[in-house]
Chain A
Amino acid sequence: NAGVTQTPKFQVLKTGQSMTLQCAQDMNHNSMYWYRQDPGMGLRLIYYSASEGTTDKGEVPNGYNVSRLNKREFSLRLESAAPSQTSVYFCASSEVWGAQETQYFGPGTRLLVL
């Protein structure tokens, strides 16, 4: 099993450009997440999807959109990139049993917006 995969690994954008970050998991998990990680800020939730067909905003959704394409795939789109969106983006998936949850993270996408 590959676990959680993300593409691309690295990306450089100019201000105003758009791009989509792809994420896929092969663990048959219902829940998927997009986080950004900035120095000293920890992981901040952008959007999450509790199940196929549903998405909800997290802590920092502005400037992003998501699509839960099917149970395996959850994409993150930046419509008009800004330098403030320079960050490392992690996708994660999990299965939840009551209070118990383990999130499995992808390798991350390092994004630089100039």
Chain B
Amino acid sequence: QKEVEQNSGPLSVPEGAIASLNCTYSDRGSQSFFWYRQYSGKSPELIMSIYSNGDKEDGRFTAQLNKASQYVSLLIRDSQPSDSATYLCAVRGDTGGFKTIFGAGTRLFVKA
């Protein structure tokens, strides 16, 4: 079982719709959760971090965390073609020297 799992996609949504990206993790002791965006041929960049159960909103992005279900999600409201990218879920735990583990990513396409 992979430590951080994501649906590889591609996830295709029309412009203006809500894109919902999901991630599950195996380490129940995980403390920190991150979403990175990676455009094709570029390096990842952090867009959201969340540390406690519930929702965290930042502009059009909302991260949701449910530690009991070991589940974290990212919602993108009013999706734009510029949101088309691969979204990497990352989890930082309390084992293995507190290393951050990345999922394989979900490819998102926003159709104009």
Contact = CB atoms under 8 A, between A and B. Distances in A.
A44 B32 CA distance: 18
A58 B97 CA distance: 10
A99 B33 CA distance: 9
Contact of B88 (A43, A58, A99, A100): A43
B44 A105 contact: yes
A50 B100 contact: no
Interface residues of B, number: 25
B1 interface: no
B51 interface: yes
A45 B44 CA distance: 14
Contacts of A101: 32, 34, 92, 100
B88 A42 contact: yes
B104 A102 contact: no
Interface in A78-101: 90, 96, 99-101
B98 to A, nearest CB: 7
Contacts of B98: 96
A35 B51 CA distance: 24
Interface of A: 35, 40-45, 48, 50, 56, 58, 90, 96, 99-103, 105-108
Given A42-B103, A99-B51, A107-B43, 15 more contacts: A41-B104, A42-B104, A45-B99, A48-B97, A48-B99, A50-B97, A56-B97, A90-B44, A101-B32, A102-B49, A103-B36, A103-B46, A105-B44, A105-B45, A106-B43
Interface of B: 4, 8, 31-32, 34, 36, 42-46, 49, 51, 88, 90, 92, 97-105
